Structure 1
Amino acid sequence: MDTANFPAVTVVRGQTDTFLTELVAQGTEYTNTFGSAPWSLPSHASVFTGAYSTKHGAHAGYKHLNEAHITLPEAFQKNGYETVAVSNNTWISEEFGFGRGFQTFQKSWQYVQSDIDLGRIARTEEGTDKLTTLGRELFSGNPLVNLVNAIYGKFVRYHHDDGAKHTNEWIDGWLTDRDDSDPFFLFVNYLEPHLEYRPPEEFAEQFLPAGVSYDEAMDIPQDAWGYIAGTVELSDRDFEILRGLYRAEIAYLDHRIGELKALLEKHNEWEDTIFVVTGDHGENIGDHGLMDHQYCLYDTLLHVPLVIHGGSFTDHGTIDELVQLTDVAPTLLDEVGIKAPEFREQIQGRSFHPDAETEPRERIIAEYMAPQPSMDALEKRVGDLPDEIDQYDRSLRTIRTEEWKLIRGSDGSLELYDVGSDPEESANVADQHPDVVADLQAELDEWVNSFEHAEHDGSVSMRDETKERLEDLGYLQ
């Protein structure tokens, strides 16, 4: 089989808009795709390794993808591919173990690539504190690079979007300069839509409720942790407006992904490219009494889009079989005929390639290994926590079929949903169906005991500037 190029474009879950509608019409859409975790770091680790959190070990309790696992870009690189990543999310960076296998790793939050993030200082410090901190950090590493990045973070990047525009500009330059004799694997993580939702005004106007101005919408509090802790109140109308902003961000990103396709066409790469659009997680916007993408394993966070265009995935329409993000890696390897036996040995997913001799999934499994943010981090942010917040201080696992979904907590909690008739997961029917609960628990236990679990020595540390940038994005540490 001829080799092909692989831009794996990561977006978050939401409404499908113009470009993706066109892509679905020409490719294949997998409408029942689920992540293996509800937030960026463990979900991406599963995409890169084909394994679940318990096996790959990257989660809130250990925030690093360790070297015990081969990554998908390593498999491509070993087979002659140029491997390139462009990330807009601090979690998806070399510092957290995601650089392995990539010959080029572009961090879009920096104008000039550096380990020092002075843009964070420009965004988070005020007054004399800003000047003092900037002066101290300016001379760490390359002072000129640090100054350029600080200016870029303060005055340029966040005045446009969360990085999609700059990302596409960089990819355009890379496609112009690259040696096109080699196939490539390009991974792109776009951050839109992500709290805070701040789409361009011309997109927001298409989705906001009647009579709501852009300025009014941008004044709605977007403090997820304050809302969860009860220090910030949001009405049904507020959530309606926030959902409008969320849909607007999706529409804006749809525009940018369409622009990426146009770049591939411009550089004569589109016809030879397998183009994958998926998301690492979804979002709660008042759903289940939550905001953001933490503390639960409901489908609002796990159900993600997956559209593939090109090669064997042309004109297959819509497929509603269960698929997981752990399945993407073996599927892509099958498409280009890469064997990668060591990598495939660690994979817990299964190929859904049209020519693969695999049975359709009967279940999906997802894990939330530790709360993120922890209760201590949340308390530092919002102050004293109400007693009901204690319910989130737990780990979770779920097993889901097309009919039933069981969520089991480390605190002994059990939730069962008849997702066939209750897709909103609004009624816990565990007490009414003890036999179903018992069967799913036994199946989940069998799965947990069927493989070796990750072991970690010591703890993971991160640079102060990284921690503060994550907190700037809403990830409390």
Structure 2
Amino acid sequence: MAESVDSPDSSDVDAASANGRDPESHSTVRNVVLVVLDTARATSTGPKTTPNLNRLAADGTHFDNAFATAPWTLPSHASMFTGTYPSEHGTHGGHTYLDDELRTLPESFADSGYETIGVSNNTWITEEFGFDRGFDDLRKGWQYIQSDADMGAVVRGEDLREKLQATRNRLFDGNPLVNAANILYSEALQPAGDDGADRSTTWITNWLDDRDDSRPFFLFCNFIEPHVEYDPPREYAERFLPDGASVDEALAIRQDPRAYDCEDYGLSERDFALLRGLYRAELAYVDEQLGRLRAALEDAGEWEDTLFVVCGDHGEHIGDHGFFGHQYNLYDTLINVPLVCHGGPFTDGGQREDLVQLLDLPATLLETAGIDDPELRAQWSSRSFHPASDDDPRDAVFAEYVAPQPSIDRLEARFDELPDRVYEYDRRLRAVRTREYKYVRGDDGYDRLHDVETDPLERDDIAAREPEQVRAMQRRLEERFDPLAEAGESGEVEMREGTKERLADLGYL
């Protein structure tokens, strides 16, 4: 087990108590680091692909059955930050702003006396969408010059048309010269094979070296490299491509998930084999950055006093179930994510097979840090998986897909005519998963049931053969959520007034 940190001095104890920290708790950590490997699916991590993550797992605690609440970045991070499900926090493809009335994990750490630092390489996780609350500094990895004017909409553009439209809309927000420089950097000059991870790790290393703040810190970092487009450094790609394949051949494959899903072009089995090689290479590259982060914490003398948590925010389809990307469904390929914790009670914790969710992170991190936050606790559905927690273990996990992203309207604007199957995706989905069964139901009557012990790849739908089990799983969903029929035909969740006002300001309503 890791050594306990020295007892805080009396001034630390007084400050901690005043802000909700309990210095007499069973916590043995001073700092908390949360690293998100964007688009990392659990089944693609391992000794060859992610050796540093495996080393961390061997020294800490590895969770085999960790699940996201949603299959894409925005709602998944909202759940991690608030401890709530998508239908509770209301942040999804149709409503993209995190409600100001919701308490967030960084706010809790900030109010408990922590220095709070965020480094985001995903353009959804910014102040534009409400994720800056509680951070002393939230840096944007796609900006060469840090600026309040966010050109992330250009980066998020699905095609050249959307990128040009975003440029026209945003260029004169703030300093147009700075904005132009940031657009030029993100779209043309950013180093090949890196989407911000190297600069982020270097910045964090320098920050650790230079900080003279005596406070503990909460550090959040999102690495986005495993996200499309897969463009790993060539030396990594060469290690993971099939025999006889060249890096140039792999990189020449069109990577446009929305166009593929809309049948605008096709991909062969070999194409997908090459894309899977590039994807694993991206994971290997970002795993190297993970090793650098650990080394930086060790060199700064902070490692033994830090809870270090690494997870994926969602997974990825690379030909699985006929999809490319991470939209439109709730297969385990998208919601089963890696989760490893190291530090304090999680050191030498071994391999755990209990069901946990990413929305359990707030309860777990705060308990491990010795923080009690009644306001955050009052809103959350979070359960601590701290080894000494009094919270009941989960016998089921849940996930939701509230609205397509991009919307069907955006797809029609881009492709004119859409295949019939794409219109089927314009629905709200909910999933419940136990150790034995996985059930998914849509607000259009769609459903499927799988025995995940014998059918872990979810290929055999047994809903028609096991109606009693279907009814039992439906009851589980309705115990957790309101019936899908109450969501309305649009699939929208009921928003808080603060969210409605903000969305109106942004032009969404």
TM-score of the superposition, structure 2-length normalised? 0.85
Matched, 1:411 2:435: no
Correspondence for 2:224: 191
Name the structure 2 match of 1:91: 124
The change in CA–CA distance for 1:461 and 1:197 in structure 2 (over 3 A counts) is farther
Residues 1:206 and 1:66: Cα distance change in structure 2 (over 3 Å): same
CA offset digits 1:21-62 (Å, max 9, x no partner): 111110000010000000000000000000001111111121
2:31 paired residue number: 5
Which of the residues 407, 412, 415 maps onto 1:379?
Answer: 412
Counterparts in 2 of 1:68 and 1:291: CA distance versus 1, 3 Å: same
Structure 1 residue 136 displacement after superposition: 9.9
Is the counterpart of residue 457 in structure 1 residue 500 in structure 2?
Answer: yes
Amino acid at match of 1:343: L
CA contact (8 A) 1:119 1:151 kept: no
Question: Unpaired runs of 5+ in structure 2?
Answer: 1-26, 484-492
Distance 1:47 1:270 in 2: 23
**Paired residues of 1:119 and 1:154 also in contact (CA < 8 A):** no
**Structure 2 vs 1, CA of residues 154 and 294 (structure 1 numbering), >3 Å: closer, same or farther?**
closer
Q: Residue 397 of structure 2 is aligned with which of 342, 364, 371? A: 364
Equivalents in 2 of 1:136, 1:395: separation in Å?
31
* Structure 1 residues not aligned, in runs of 5+: 468-477
Select the residue among 358, 366, 369 that pairs with 1:325: 358
Query: CA, structure 1 residues 375+431, in 2 after alignment: closer, same or farther (shift >3 Å)?
Result: same
Whichever residue aligns with residue 38 of structure 1, its letter is P
Paired residues for 1:34-49 under 5 Å: 34-49=67-82
**Secondary structure at the residue paired with 1:435?**
helix
**Residues 357, 144 of structure 1: alpha-carbon distance in 2 compared, 3 angstrom cutoff:** same
**Which residue identity is paired with 1:301?**
L
Paired with 2:110 and 2:151, the residues of 1 have a C-alpha distance of 32
Distance in 2, matches of 1:409 and 1:139, equals 42
Aligned to 2:429: 396
- Mapped to 2, the partners of 1:133 and 1:69 lie a distance apart of 29
1:15 aligns to what?
45
1:307-338 C-alpha deviation (Å, 9 max, x unpaired) = 00111100011001100001111011111110
Which stretch shows the higher mean deviation, 111-120 or 275-284? 111-120
User: How far did residue 152 of structure 1 move?
Assistant: 2.9
In angstroms, what is the RMSD of aligned CA positions? 2.6
SS at match of 1:159: coil
TM-score, structure 1 as length reference? 0.91
State the shift of 1:140 in Å.
Answer: 4.6
Give the letter aligned to residue 421 of structure 1: T
Aligned residues: 461
Q: Relative to 1, partners in 2 of residues 1:33 and 1:81: Cα closer, same or farther, differing over 3 Å?
A: same
Who is 2:138 aligned against?
Answer: 105
One-letter amino acid of the structure 2 residue matched with residue 402 of structure 1: R
The corresponding residue for 2:18 is none
Confirm or deny: 8 A CA contact 1:29 1:308 kept in the other structure: yes
Distance change (3 Å), C-alpha of 1:410 and 1:184: same
More deviation, 241-250/219-228: 219-228
* TM-aligned CA deviation for residue 149 of structure 1: 2.4
1:63-116 residue CA offsets vs partner (Å, 9 max, x unmatched): 111112100011111111000100001100001010101111101111222233
Aligned to 2:5: none
Q: Distance in 1 between matches of 2:56 and 2:385?
A: 19
CA change 1:7–1:283 in 2 (3 A) is same
Aligned counterpart in structure 1 of residue 375 of structure 2, from 342, 367, 386: 342
**For structure 1, which segment, 5-14 or 169-178, has the greater mean C-alpha deviation from structure 2 after superposition?**
169-178
Change (3 A) 1:388 1:453: closer
* Alpha-carbon contact 1:363-1:402 (below 8 Å) kept: yes
Q: 1:136 to 1:388 in 2, by over 3 A?
A: closer
Match of 1:243 in 2: 276
Native 8 Å contact 1:365 1:400 kept in 2: yes
Relative to structure 1, the CA distance from residue 416 to residue 134 in structure 2 (aligned partners, 3 Å threshold; closer, same or farther) is closer
State the match for 2:303 in structure 1.
Answer: 270
> d(CA) in 1 for partners of 2:136 and 2:96?
23
**Alignment partners' CA distance in 2, 1:117 and 1:64:** 15
How much identity, in percent, do the aligned residues show? Answer: 50
1:135 positional shift: 10
Distance in 1 between residues matched to 2:225 and 2:311, nearest whole Å = 13
Q: Which amino acid aligns with 2:433?
A: R
Q: Is the Cα–Cα contact under 8 Å of residues 97 and 502 in structure 2 kept in the other structure?
A: no
Match for 1:327: what amino acid? D
